[in-house]
Structure 1
Amino acid sequence: MAPLAVSIGDPAGIGPEIIAECWARRAGNSLAPFFVVGGAGVLAAAAHARGLSLRVERITAPEHAANVFARALPVLGMDDCNAVPGQPDADGARLALRSLEHATGLVREGRASALVTAPIAKAQLAKAGFTYPGQTEFLAAACGVDESDAVMMLAGPSLRAVPLTVHCALAEVPSRLSRQLIERRARILARALERDFGIDNPRIAVCGLNPHAGEGGKFGDEEVRIIAPAIAALQEAGVDVTGPHPADAMFTPRARARYDAALAMYHDQALVPLKALDFDEGVNVTLGLPIVRTSPDHGTAFDIAGTGIANPGAMMAAILMAGDMATRRAAHG
């Protein structure tokens, strides 16, 4: 299998140091070989500040990464910058964007088996010409996939959750819901759970939008008018889906044992329980793409960058998950 490609993210954030930490712990965690696109100097400085014994070795092609990985962190290309932890700037944003674009292209070409993206600063990237709300939307466009079919799933040891609507105001959520959206996202989720996570006959639980899942229309009619009919159509099509369930009871240990993934109606309905349960091991996975993409489910954390206290757990989990997904997808055909 081809190595994994890792984009460096904002070099002033915690991305470089947690990438370096993952390489330092590669053997104990059985990480698949990976290489970073750009930022050799940034990575070396981040490792030094963290007290890691790490050698960085530039490579000229992804195919060289596997031979280098055991002795050094492979870095593809000469792109670099002088980053100051906690102080994002235009040079760093340009490096982050070039790294993301190049890494994505390599995975699309099959020269890397999966993409792992370190955290970016969207405001900084916008100044460098990045016109997308986030990396998920960029990847959809790069892969020629309709933005509505690029599905964000947050995954950790305790929970997998998909927010049906993502980057919009809470007041806009009801108007964005539709039977078609629920059905399409649920089918993409079910296919990914089977193909990329090895779950036969995956079980999906759907949250209600309103308190008590609307209580028969007393607290809103979205459940009766939109969500329940979508669930019925999915069940008729053979998808193992239940709901709408009251969201306040859906994430208890007993409830989580009854499903493989939750389909939530809006951003915080999915992300609050995931981060409460699995913050240090949470992974952002993009479903519905022709490539495998994961990312740690946290931001750049500029406030702690360079202090040596950033937890590498989520980046480690993202690399592990990317390798597992790529292996399953290759076997699935």
Structure 2
Amino acid sequence: MDRRAAAQCPCRGLPVSVRPRVVVTPGDYLGIGPELAIRLWLEFGDAADFELSLVGPPELWKRAAELVGGAPDELPIVPVDPDADPDWGHLPGIGEIATAVRGCLDGRFDALCTGPLHKADLIAEGFPYMGHTPYLAALCGAPQEQAVMVFSGGRLTVSLATLHVPLAEVPGAWTEESIARAARGAAEVVRKARGIQRPRIALAGLNPHAGEGGRLGAEDQSVVAAALQLLAVEELSASGPYPGDTVFARALAGHFDAVVAAYHDQGLVAVKTLDAGRSVNITAGLPLLRTSVDHGTARDIAWQGRARPEGMFSAARMAAQLARSSMTGRQRSRSLERGALSDRGAGLAS
């Protein structure tokens, strides 16, 4: 559906309060993020069931629009706020994130959709965060470990108990608290994205065969058991540990609604093999909604008009879906509160 077709979409007449406001960042200026965002705008524009804004330098967006055949003068551009992050906002791609997060926290936007960053370049500039997820936590004033990476939108929903951690350090970072946080994040996404109110969460083991009863490592039994105790108190339906080589197949077969992977590649190999282009990177555990593509900057094909936009489309639609679910939940809560107040008033009057 291009913009001309989208203009005929019946959802164009939806009230602004019903259409989530999604703000998009370009990510790495030298990558495919800018052109993907423009393709997103061309595909949906403001005629879909969500509104789009593009944060970043006008010259960047106009160049990307000229590349893919858009009309630069029509772009819904939000300028970078230099005060959003005085320390790191001068770095390309970072000021946009800080500006968008401030807008989300201030209530100007309902969700954030981010283009991919080039982590190596940022680290070379002294940037102290390993990608979006810990930086988003810092901008929200939250501990880095509070942010959870969840991948959903395809056939699997997978969260990570440890993030960008060297494999040698995974056993120390894989704790009952990190597993429980990842399970909560997965449950949050499944509820909002799929409408399953009591999701079944599988906890993957760390070692081969989930430790083989302790013969291949004791962590699987002890750490997962402690995590299950934490989650039982919260009445979250979780079980495990399950072997990492079979748990995803069981999820595909319908036994589980989400899987908590012990480490990055355990989860992402399954997601990117099965759901490439459909799965969306979602940040849970923070006071904002953020999605992103599940791929990198692809500098080798950037600014050539060759990048496929399906991942960006999926990420933006997921951002709008999560925002709409949150908006509906808030409206339902307000209705219940009004009903309770009305009942209380009637009781006082009788």
- CA separation of 1:195 and 1:317: change in aligned 2, threshold 3 A: closer
Offset, 1:215 = 1.2
SS at match of 1:153: strand
1:49 aligns with 2:67: yes
SS at match of 1:257: coil
Distance in structure 1 (CA, Å) of the matches to 2:226 and 2:148 = 21
Distance in structure 1 (CA, Å) of the matches to 2:313 and 2:271 = 17
SS at match of 2:28: coil
Residue ranges of structure 2 left out of the alignment (5+ in a row): 1-16, 82-88, 331-350
Partner of 2:348: none
Offset, 1:290 = 0.5
Aligned ranges 1:166-185 → 2 under 5 Å = 166-185=163-182
1:299 aligns with 2:263: no
Partner of 1:142: 139
Write out per-residue CA displacement over residues 9-43 of structure 1, whole angstroms, 9 at most, x where no aligned residue: 11111001111111111179945111111232222
- On the 8 A contact 1:9/1:15 being kept in 2, the answer is yes
Runs of 4+ in 1 over 4 A off after TM superposition: 253-256
Aligned ranges 1:114-263 → 2 under 5 Å = 114-128=111-125, 130-195=127-192, 197-235=194-232, 237-252=234-249, 255-263=252-260
Amino acid at match of 1:234: L
Partner of 2:78: 76
Offset, 1:236 = 5.4
Distance in structure 1 (CA, Å) of the matches to 2:260 and 2:61 = 37
Residue ranges of structure 1 left out of the alignment (5+ in a row): 58-71, 80-91
Offset, 1:254 = 6.2
Partner of 2:338: none
Q: Which has the larger radius of gyration?
A: 2
- CA separation of 1:176 and 1:78: change in aligned 2, threshold 3 A: closer
Count of residue pairs brought into register by the alignment: 305
- On the 8 A contact 2:156/2:252 being kept in 1, the answer is no
Partner of 1:69: none
Partner of 1:264: 261
SS at match of 2:299: coil
Offset, 1:99 = 1.2
Distance in structure 1 (CA, Å) of the matches to 2:229 and 2:43 = 47
- Percent identity, please: 38
SS at match of 1:276: helix
- On the 8 A contact 2:80/2:95 being kept in 1, the answer is no
* TM-score, L = length of structure 1: 0.84
Match for residue 50 of structure 2 among 13, 29, 32:
32
Higher relative contact order (CA 8 A, sep 6+): 1
User: Aligned Cα RMSD in Å?
Assistant: 2.4
Partner of 2:277: 280
* TM-score, L = length of structure 2: 0.80
Distance in structure 2 (CA, Å) of the matches to 1:263 and 1:177 = 11
